[in-house]
A and B are shown apart, each in its own frame.
Chain A
Amino acid sequence: MIRDHFRVLVVNLSSGKGQIVRLDGRNTEAGGSGLAALLFNKYGHVDRLWNDPEQPVIFAIGPLTGYFPLMSKTVCSFKSPYHDQYTESHAGGRSALSLCFADLDALVIVGKSKRLCSLTVSSRSLDIQDVTFMKGMSVDETGKLLRGMSPGSGHRTIMRIGPAGENGSAMANINVDTYRHFGRLGGGAALGAKNLKGIIIYGDAVFPQPESKEYPKLFAEVYRQITATDMMKKYHNLGTPANLQGLNDIESLPWRNLQATSDPAIEQINGERFATDNLLRNSACSGCPVGCIHVGYVREMFDANHRYTFKQVAYDYEMIFSLGTMLGITSTRSVLNILDEMEKAGLDAMSGGVALAWATEATEKELISEKETEVKLSFGDAKAYQQATVLLGNSSNHFYRLLGQGSLKASAEYGGADFACVLGQEMAGYATGEVFFAAQSLGFRHSHLDSGGYSYDQKHSDQDVAGVIDFLIKDEAGRAFMTSMVSCLFARGVYKDALLADCLNSIGYPELAATIDTAGVHIQKIRWQTRIATGFSPENITIPKRFFKIKTWKGSIDPLYLNTLKSEYGKAIIKLAGVTL
């Protein structure tokens, strides 16, 4: 699928028809993030609500997808139910290679089906099926049924939503192949608004190998770097949970709704403990030999006569933070049990956990009670959190419907905004300091992976506003190019610009290879322009007081430094977008 243009399938669920569209822009928007922004500007409506039937949900891959290892991610873009602005979410699984082998650079879904449906596409087919019988069905049940209803076992991706997506929760995810997710900012609700329960992409096309002599040699060298060196070891050994102990040690791990940043109990739920007690096996995204997916297991006795049920749940650092330390849970088994409920409901585990942490403190402060929460929430009570997760996913009452739109929405009615751990959206697990708090608050996806702010905090104790802003802006541009290829960001240590240029050259994209810097800056700019056009303004984002009251390895948070960073970063974003607000 090497081509100098984009080949896009646009499916209209209102008419039930699709159209192949050819678009220019390979040397400017590249693919992935850049292509997604290009497509939103073509098919999106900046002035209409996120759930307008005509709003697109976009899945895009890049020019290196399928051709090099770890080019294994898909960018999903949509207008978010969380803030009604343009956003992206990224996931792997089999999604990227399936799109590649469906001979598509992107899939765009517009319109709304009259009834709940599933969409199946391949390089030679397009099929929309009525799945009304799946209404309210959990993610795992949906996956099992879709598996039997569609072709291509092993060479397809199955994306689906759970009750949370059908209910319009701004924390609803899109589950990808059981263990991966387009997690944040409500992609699941964007599909739910279209009555689209599942998407199956069957990758059945075959492409000739690039003709250059360099390609096979370069592939072998990249593969060697990834598998034969220690460069990627941290991702497949303990995986990202290895960071739990380290961040706890430097007083940067949020505990109990960020009332603390360190606790000796970390030894009970650190990466080593999960690997020893609960790691069942590793799994991988298609096209990635690293195998960073850590699948944990829990065995539960459901009947006194030794009758057991067995759960397999993929865990990462972020879920252990949001459903473990943030909720005061110090048992690996309990974390996995709550996570399993999040998975079934189709809720983003990070957002859901942080929101429940706010609800727990709001309960402690008697702002809410069981009248709202239905179960008594208290830090450390795993059973209550399992029940609350089901209630949150089902939007079972006014409180949970509101909480599903975000902790700040709930606190606007019940109070407690000061201790809502929200940085643009529910926080990621890094209480590292001022740089990260400013970076996530204003980051394009409000993700810790938008830029390396959390890492900067851990390496710098000095205060250098200009240096930080310069770092964040430049780092984001580089990552915007990576997510246009579309690389897993775990591979950013391998895929430096020179190697990316070699890869692009070897498969026939010399012009893009020669302009990586400018393409990255351009993609960064159009993403921000698109977000700003849909309503983003740095002024509208506030950092709750809780973030000003914590202590990290650097000492207490300096309010002036944090406010200055946020203000200057906001100005820099508006400047790079070249717009006036």
Chain B
Amino acid sequence: MKKLTTPRIDRCIGCHSCSLACARLVHKQISWDTAGIRIHSSGGLTTGFKASHCLSCDPAPCADACPTGAFLQRKGGGVLVKKKLCINCGECVSACPVDAVFQDHNGAVYVCIHCGRCVEFCPHNCLGMEETA
């Protein structure tokens, strides 16, 4: 079981290629929001960038908060997502301590599923996949 990590995020140039790739390849959307990894400046562009993404908690507070079983604890950390069970309540969003879950205007939620499809789109090799403990 692997998880997405950002070991070299200090190299990030803010191109958003990772977010756009996740939205496109995983969620079939064109967006920089509906993605499991989202890039923000860390207090203005002069201070570099940070990535909001699932840190693969175990136990995961978002899974614990989910009232319908749409977010299930993933072995090794993070969550398995059952979209059909989601009622768009947003409890996972407020439960996440690192702002990793995004909720769109229709209520649908998006979180990293640690598939790694964004990794190859980072031009500075900021991202990686690591075996979970």
Contacts and interface: CB of A to CB of B under 8 A. Distances in A.
Do these two chains really belong together in a complex? yes
Interface of A: 66-67, 69, 97, 101, 124, 143-144, 147, 153-155, 177-179, 203-210, 216, 219, 223, 227, 281-291, 293, 312
A282 B32 contact: no
Interface in B88-130: 104-105, 121, 123-124
B132 interface: no
Nearest to B44: A147
B60 interface: no
B25 interface: yes
Contacts, number: 89
Contact of B16 (A97, A179, A207, A227): A97
A281 B9 CA distance: 13
A37 B121 CA distance: 35
B13 A283 contact: yes
Contact of A287 (B15, B23, B41): B15
Given A69-B17, A154-B41, A216-B24, A286 B121 contact: no
A144 B24 CA distance: 32
B36 to A, nearest CB: 14
Q: Pick from B13, B41, B48 the residue with the most CB of A within 10 Å.
A: B13
Contacts of A216: 24-25
Task: Give 6 closest A-B pairs by Cβ, nearest first.
Answer: A154-B40, A284-B15, A289-B123, A291-B13, A284-B13, A206-B31
Interface string B24-37: 11001111111000
B33 A286 contact: no
B17 A97 contact: no
Nearest to B51: A154
Given A143-B44, A206-B104, A290 B123 contact: yes
B13 A207 contact: no
Contacts of B30: 66-67, 206-210
B20 interface: yes
B44 A144 contact: yes
A284 B17 CA distance: 10
Given A154-B40, A203-B32, A291-B124, A219 B15 contact: no
A204 B33 contact: yes
Given A154-B49, A219-B24, A293-B13, 10 more contacts: A66-B30, A101-B32, A154-B38, A178-B44, A206-B31, A206-B105, A209-B30, A286-B14, A289-B13, A290-B15
Contacts of B104: 206
A215 to B, nearest CB: 9
